[in-house]
Structure 1
Amino acid sequence: MNGNDFFRPLWLRVGIVLACFGWAVLELVNGQTGWAMLAGAVGAYGVWSFLIAYEPPSKE
């Protein structure tokens, strides 16, 4: 991350990830598997970057 405080709240990071996976489900229900895979991949990257590897910016 670039040290931005915008992504500090956990609820916001979880919400972004859920929105991506929700969009993937919506696309899958509508038969758009390519867009569903793309949104699912963005959601998976969000899980990694926002939930697993996230380090809050230091207080400087």
Structure 2
Amino acid sequence: MKGGEDFFRPLWIRALIVAACAGWAVLEWINGQTGWAMMAGAATAYGVWSFLIAYEPPKQD
């Protein structure tokens, strides 16, 4: 493991990060903090794209 790049290899870790961002967005929306909800929603959308759709595990040496 070089530099922690294998940390994101398991799907459950990547899904947990996305779920945490989504939960943060919902929490902020419920509390009426629309700006923070949009920021967390954007982080969720980026996480879905980078961690679930476009993710390619690092090559093994």
- TM-score, with structure 2 as normaliser: 0.92
Shift of 1:45: 0.1
For residues 12 and 44 of structure 1, what CA distance do their matches in structure 2 show? 16
RMSD: 1.5
Stretches of structure 2 that go unaligned for 5 or more consecutive residues are none
For residues 37 and 10 of structure 2, what CA distance do their matches in structure 1 show? 27
Residues paired across the two proteins, number: 59
Shift of 1:56: 0.4
For residues 59 and 51 of structure 2, what CA distance do their matches in structure 1 show? 16
Which residue in 1 is equivalent to 2:58? Answer: 57
Higher relative helix content: 1
Q: Deviations over 1:5-59 (max 9, x none)?
A: 0100000000000000000000000000000000000000000000000000011
Higher RCO (Cα < 8 Å, 6 or more apart): 1
For residues 37 and 21 of structure 1, what CA distance do their matches in structure 2 show? 10
Aligned identity (percent) is 76
Stretches of structure 1 that go unaligned for 5 or more consecutive residues are none
- TM-score, with structure 1 as normaliser: 0.94
